[in-house]
Amino acid sequence: MTTSTAAPIARRRNRRTRTSNVSCLPALLVSQLPLTSVELTHRAEHLVCPACKTWCPLTLNKGSREWKLVPHHTAPAGTPGSRRCPNSNRLVVVDVKLARWQQKRFEASADVAARRPTTVLKKVKTPVVPAITQLTPAAPTADTARAAYYAHRDRCAGRKDHTTREASTTGCSGARLCIDGARLYATYMQLLGQEPERRAAQARAEQEQRTAEPEQAKKRLQRRADEWSAAHVDALIEKRRWAQLEHFTGDLVEPIRGAAVPKGARPIGTVRSADDVLDENPIRKNQPQQQLSA
C-alpha cells in the first residue's frame, strides 16, 4: 500500500453536502452571535465560523434536517498545508424568527450609519496682511528722487546744535552735502539720466495698449454678437416648439368639439309641438284632409 506524501490542499467549500456526520461540539445559537456574522437570506445562508473566522455556508443535516456548518478548511481553497477546521459539521440552531432578525439587522445598519463621521470642511484661513517692510516698494523715478533730496536738504540745512545754538557742521549747507544728502543726490542724478529711456519705454507700452484696445473691443463685440445670435436661435427654436405644440393641441381639441351645428336646429331638451311634428312629416299632415274629403 502506497502512502501519498503530497501536502493536503484546502478544498472548495460546497454550499450543500450529503454527509450525515455531526460534530461533537455543542450547537451554535444564532441569537448569541453578532448580527454582522450571520446571513439568513434564503438560499444564501452563511455564518462566520467561530474557530477560523471565515464565512462558511450552512447546510441541512441529511438525517435530522437541522442546520450545520459545511466541512471546510481553515485557509482559502487551494492553499497547501491547510488543516480541517474543528467546527466542520457543527450544528447551528436558528432560535430567532427571520422577521425579527431582519428588523435587528436594519436597526443595526441605521445605527452604524448614524455613527459614521461626517466630512469635515476645513475653515478657510484669513489671508495675513503683509507688513510694511514686506511690501514691494514702487520703482523710484526722477521726480520721487528729487522730492526726497529736496526734503532732506531743507530738513538738514535748518538743523542746529543744541549746545552751541549754531548750525551744525555736519548738515547740508550751500554746496556742502552730508552723507545722506550725497547719496540722495547721486540717486537723483542717476534716475535723471535714465528718465528719457524710461519715458520712451512707457510711451511704447501705452502705444501698444492703444493699438490693442480696438482689437480687444472688436473681439468683445464679436463675442457678444455670437452670444446674442445663439440666444436668438434658442428663442426661435422655443417659439417654433410652442407653435407646433399649439397646432398639435388644436388637432386634438377640434374633433372633441364636434362638427358645426346646422343653422335653424332645435336646441336639445325642448318640447316639440304638434305643428312641429306635422311639419317634419308631411304625409301625416295630409291624412286628416283625406279623411274629411272621404
* Half-sphere exposure for 210 (CA within 13 Å, toward CB): 6
pLDDT band (50, 70, 90) for residue 29: very high
Asked whether residue 151 falls in the same domain as residue 91, the answer is no
Asked whether residue 48 falls in the same domain as residue 97, the answer is yes
Cβ partners under 8 Å of residue 145, min gap 6: 184, 187, 188, 191, 192
pLDDT of residue 248 exceeding 70: no
Is 27 exposed, middle or buried, given 0-12, 13-18 or 19+ CB atoms closer than 10 A? middle
- CA dist., res. 57 & res. 89, Å (int): 11
Number of domains in the chain: 2
User: How, if at all, do strands 38-39 and 46-48 pair?
Assistant: antiparallel
pLDDT per residue as tens digits for the range 65-88:
889 998 888 887 778 877 888 888
Has residue 86 been placed in a domain?
A: yes
What share of the chain has pLDDT > 90, as a percent? 4
Asked whether residue 102 falls in the same domain as residue 153, the answer is no
pLDDT of residue 286 exceeding 80: no
Where a domain ends, among 205, 222, 240? Answer: 240
> Residue 27 has what pLDDT?
92
Has residue 20 been placed in a domain?
A: no
- CA dist., res. 234 & res. 228, Å (int): 10
Asked whether residue 151 falls in the same domain as residue 230, the answer is yes
Kindly report which listed range (22-26, 121-125, 242-246) carries the lowest average pLDDT score. Answer: 242-246
Q: What is the mean pLDDT of the chain?
A: 76
pLDDT per residue as tens digits for the range 172-226:
766 677 888 888 888 888 888 888 888 888 899 899 988 888 888 888 888 878 7
> Residue 6 has what pLDDT?
59
Has residue 12 been placed in a domain?
A: no
Asked whether residue 188 falls in the same domain as residue 226, the answer is yes
Has residue 201 been placed in a domain?
A: yes
- Residue 78 lies in domain: 28-114
Helices 142-157 and 179-257 meet at what angle, rounded to 10?
140
Has residue 96 been placed in a domain?
A: yes
